[in-house]
Each structure stands twice: as C-alpha cells, then as structure tokens.
Structure 1
Amino acid sequence: MLGTWRWNVVFGIFGTVLTVAFSIGNNPIVVMLLRSMYAFIAFFVLAYGVRAILAYILQPPSLVGDSLEDNDGKGTQLDLKTPDESADLNALLKSQLQDGGSSPTTDSHNNAAVDFKPLSPPQLLSTKNTQPEELVKAIRHLTGE
C-alpha cells in the first residue's frame, strides 16, 4: 500500500476537525465529541481504502510477455574502450620524419586540393543599361498588375 498508518491518522484528524467545525454550534459538547470520535474512526478506516486505490492506480504497468530474468544483465554496463592506434601513429610520425614532412595522408590532401574547384555561380545581370519601359514591365509583372 501507499504510505503508512500515519496517513490514516492525518485523514482521521481531518474528519474529526470537519465534524467539530460543522456541529459546534448545533450540538452539545458531549454529542459533538462522540460524533467526532465516530468520524475519526470512519475516516481512519476509509483512508485504508483510499490508500489501496491510490497504490493500485499509481503502480507502474507491467508489460505482458517480458521476463525480468532475460534482461537482468542487459544495459547495465557500458564499455568505453578505444582501439589501440599507437602503431599507426608511430608509422605516420616515422614517415613524416623520413620524407621531410610529406606523408601519404598529406599527399592525398594535396591531390584533393588540386581536384577542388570552387563554386562559380552565374553573374547577376545589372540594370544599368536597360530601358525604362522594360523596368516598368518587370515591376508590373512582379506586383501582379
């Protein structure tokens, strides 16, 4: 169940306070205390039912067909091991020392730089030498007139 018996006591005290508040002006003290005791007992027992219903509603749904035994070890460990590339790094450094700074990787970068051709977009037309009638036609066309 959700919570402890202390919630039942709090709920019972809440019922007692409500009973006293609504009956203090209409009943004698003895009747009021007797009815507040009955209200405490009723609210105390009622709290068990409320807690049971809340526990049932708030429990996480169980998936049908899933077995917890199969998934016990899955997803609990993460391996962050990187591959050992020290031999490749040493070979690269040796080749740079022997070739005087040029390596196969820098040669491939140089070849790629030779093959590179920057984007050359078409030139935009200038409106300096156009006739005023053509400009008016273009503006009317663009504005939809």
Structure 2
Amino acid sequence: MIGSWRWNVAFGLVGAVLTIIFSLSSNLIDVVLLRSVYAFISFFVVAYAVRLIFAQIVKPPSLTPSLHAKEEDKGAQLDLVTPPQTDDLNDLLKSQLTDTDVQQTEDEKSIKKEQEQQKQAEFKPLNPPQFVSSKNTEPEELAKAIRHLTGE
C-alpha cells in the first residue's frame, strides 16, 4: 500500500474534527465526543480502503503477475549480447600458422599467381571526368552567373 498508518490517523482526525464542528451546536458534548470517536474509527477504516484502491491503480502493469504476460512478452525484448568469438579467432590463427608451416607445391603456387594476375587484369581504376574551367571569362558574365545563382 501507498503511504503509512499516519495517513489513516490524519484522515480519521479530519473526520472527527468535522463531526465535532457540525454536531456541537445541536448536541450535548458527550454525544458529540461519542460521534467523533465513531467518525474517527470510520474514517480510519475508509482510509485503508482508499489507500488499497489507490495502490492498485498506481501499481505499474509490469509488476502485476499475469499468466498470459509471458506469452505476450515474447519477442518484446532484444538481446544485444554477442556470443564470444574466441573459437573463430583461434581457428583463424591456427589456419594462418598451418599455412606458413606447410610447404606449397609448385602447382598451387602457379595457380595462385594466375588468380592474382586475373584479379589485377580485371581491376580498372576509376577515371572521373575532369572539370573544365575557362580562364578568359569576363567580369560581366561572372556577375550575371552569380546573380542567376543567388536569384537576384
């Protein structure tokens, strides 16, 4: 529940004081005090009920247990932890060690050279077009171009 028993006491005192204020003018003092005690007890109990209802309303839905919640939450969370890659790294290092240790035959070397030559023959560097600038431009033409670009 939200709050403590002090809220109940405060709520009970408010009820007792209101009862005293409204019934003092028309009743004897002993009847007023008896009714204020009854009002205190009633308001004290009602405060527990109000606190219980308020706690149920304010409680976040994730904290309320539900049978179907597990099925509805499937796929709602994403696990961003990656598995360790130590085995892959170890295999890669071992393969590099065995490649340098094993003597390659002449046929394998020639096949690799041919493959590298084919890759180099297929490669063509990018040859972008060159920008052309005219060196003999008149100032009037440049001013006209600037006015056109700025929208004046």
Give the TM-score normalised by structure 1: 0.49
What is the TM-score when the length of structure 2 is the normalising length?
0.48
